[in-house]
């Protein structure tokens, strides 16, 4: 699953709270740099 947080609309911490409420505490987030590093393995 992918999500994008628009920081003009919400703060990152509030965005994570909303995701944790929906999916539980066992989730993690990654930034675009991590996605780019994983690209060769796809």
pLDDT by residue (tens digit) across 10-27?
A: 666 777 788 888 888 887
Indicate whether 35 belongs to any domain.
no
Instruction: Output the CA–CA distances (angstroms, integers) from residue 41 to 5, 14, 31, 36, 38, in the order listed.
Output: 25, 32, 17, 10, 6
What is the pLDDT confidence band of residue 8, given thresholds at 50, 70 and 90?
Answer: confident
Helix (H, G, I), strand (E, B) or coil at 29: coil
The pLDDT of residue 40: 92
Indicate whether 9 belongs to any domain.
yes
Indicate whether 21 belongs to any domain.
yes
15: phi then psi, degrees, rounded to nearest 5: -65, -40
The domain tally of the chain equals 1
Indicate whether 33 belongs to any domain.
no
**How far, in Å, CA of 11 to CA of 15, rounded?**
6
Indicate whether 41 belongs to any domain.
no
- The 10 Å Cβ neighbour count of residue 10 is 13
Structural domain that includes position 5 = 1-27
């Amino acid at each position: 699953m992918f999500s994008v947080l628009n920081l003009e609309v919400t703060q990152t911490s509030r965005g994570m709270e909303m995701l944790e409420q929906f999916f539980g505490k066992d989730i993690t987030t990654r930034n675009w740099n991590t996605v780019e590093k994983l690209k060769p393995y796809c």
